[in-house]
Amino acid sequence: MYKITVLPGDGIGPEVTEQALKVIQKLAKTFHLVFEIEEAIVGGCSIDKFGMPLTAETLQKAMKADAVFLGAVGGPKWDHVETSKRPEKALLALRKSLEVYANIRPAKMFPGLINKSTLKPEVVKDVDFVIFRELVGGIYFGEPRGISVLPNGEEQGINTEVYSTHEVERIARRAFDFARRRRRKVTSVDKANVLESSQLWRRVVTKVHAQYPDVHLDHRYVDDCAMQLIKNPKQFDVIVTTNLFGDILSDESAMVTGSIGMLASASIGDKHALYEPVHGSAPDIAGQDLANPLAAILSVAMMMEYSFNLHELAQTIEKAVSAVITEGYRTPDLYEEGTTKVGCVKMGDLVAERIRA
Ligand code: NAD
Ligand code: IPM
Ligand code: MN
């Protein structure tokens, strides 16, 4: 029996989560497994109900689960809430409490979606890389932080990029281990020409690499990497980088592979794991059955693989998603002439129907 805590969140979060749950239920039925699902409230809807984005009860439900699934949090309704109480704070607190330091974000081109990238087909054909984003450190959590008033009355905002050795070591090891199961190439991304924290990052990654002589390592500055991702994304296999750089480069990758609605992620630590599509709550399309649920569904595939070691189930989900795309079904973000436009619910149905033993 596998215990999953499900946090639908805000905006399109509940819509895509519903489709992910549909797929989990179909897996349970098809493979005769028991997934015990417990739902909990998080983000803006938790602010509305309890006055805070993450309650002790929700955190406890997440801590005791075998795996946690999160839809998305946030939205314009809560954009003016004080920083410490924003919906996004709940997600950051969850990641920190679960200590899920390795955020794995694959970017793979699905045949059939090649025209949805804004880049030329020959540039994006067969793209297949994975970003290992450090998730519980760096400028997202560094102290000092805050906004203060200077003696002259002017305001000053401060955030601090901090990394200590062990934080870099553990994400680097994860990235090198992962590269061994792929094309054995790691690109570490930093800003070591300017930032001391990046100089330490580069030094520690290089030291960890000594234990992986069979894996090729190169270093790139983040500005160059952003350009290289657009110029020739096929050069990348595994990218390992800091929290902030990984956040930005992963959204860039969304347009390399066609849509942010396709990007899944797994956030892994030594004890816990959290599965979350890369996209946000998409307030502009929420509540209209327009959201692409495939990022959420592919995040379930990552859960089957990484948390439950159910490799066959992960593959079944990926195959079902591929099949639906090959058959020409598209949510609006993926639509082009000659394909069949479907909504979020229908897309979930189509994938679930194609889950077979
Ligand atoms: P977003 O990812 O929500 O949306 C960016 C654009 O992509 C929008 O045009 C949206 O319609 C589109 N999009 C996103 N997901 C889609 C999907 N599944 N199918 C089709 N189109 C999709 O980013 P944003 O607009 O910068 O942020 C909106 C809110 O979400 C903010 O409050 C932000 O803080 C929050 N956010 C939350 C998470 C999370 O919970 N993991 C991640 C990113 C942003
Ligand atoms: C993401 C999101 C989050 C992040 C926000 C919502 C806190 O953008 O998961 O990519 O910056 O990590
Ligand atoms: Mn992001």
- The CATH code of the domain at 118-257 is 3.40.718.10
Digit-by-digit pLDDT tens for the chain (357 residues) are 899 999 999 999 999 999 999 999 999 999 999 999 999 999 999 999 999 999 999 999 999 999 999 999 999 999 999 999 999 999 999 999 999 999 999 999 998 999 999 999 999 999 999 999 999 999 999 999 999 999 999 999 999 999 999 999 999 999 999 999 999 999 999 999 999 999 999 999 999 999 999 999 999 999 999 999 999 999 999 999 999 999 999 999 999 999 999 999 999 999 999 999 999 999 999 999 999 999 999 999 999 999 999 999 999 999 999 999 999 999 999 999 999 999 999 999 999 999 998
- Helix ranges, 3-75 (H): 13-31, 44-50, 56-63
> For this structure, is 234 an active site residue?
no
**Residues 184, 214 contacting (CB under 8 angstroms):** yes
pLDDT value for 273? 98
Catalytic-labelled residue, pool 140, 212, 275, 306: 140
pLDDT value for 65? 98
Name the DSSP letter for residue 341: E
pLDDT value for 313? 98
**Residues 189, 240 contacting (CB under 8 angstroms):** yes
Distance 250 CA to ligand 3 centre (A): 7
The atom of ligand 1 lying closest to the CA of 73 is 40
Is the minimum distance from the CB of 247 to ligand 2 under 6 angstroms?
yes
**Closest Cα to atom 4 of ligand 2:** 247
Domain 1-105+259-357 class?
alpha beta
Distance 282 CA to ligand 1 centre (A): 4
pLDDT value for 323? 98
DSSP letters, 6-25, are EEEESTTHHHHHHHHHHHHH
Catalytic-labelled residue, pool 22, 26, 89, 191: 191
pLDDT value for 200? 99
pLDDT value for 97? 98
Distance (Å) of CA 278 to CA 17, 30, 86, 250:
13, 28, 19, 8
- C-alpha to C-alpha distance for 239 and 218, rounded to whole angstroms: 10
**Residues 7, 69 contacting (CB under 8 angstroms):** yes
pLDDT value for 68? 98
Q: Where are the domains of the chain?
A: 1-105+259-357, 118-257
Best probe residue, ligand 2, of 91, 134, 278 (max atoms within 8 Å of C-beta): 91
pLDDT value for 87? 98
- C-alpha to C-alpha distance for 247 and 331, rounded to whole angstroms: 24
pLDDT value for 301? 98
Best probe residue, ligand 1, of 92, 260, 341 (max atoms within 8 Å of C-beta): 260
What's the predicted TM-score (pTM) here?
A: 0.98
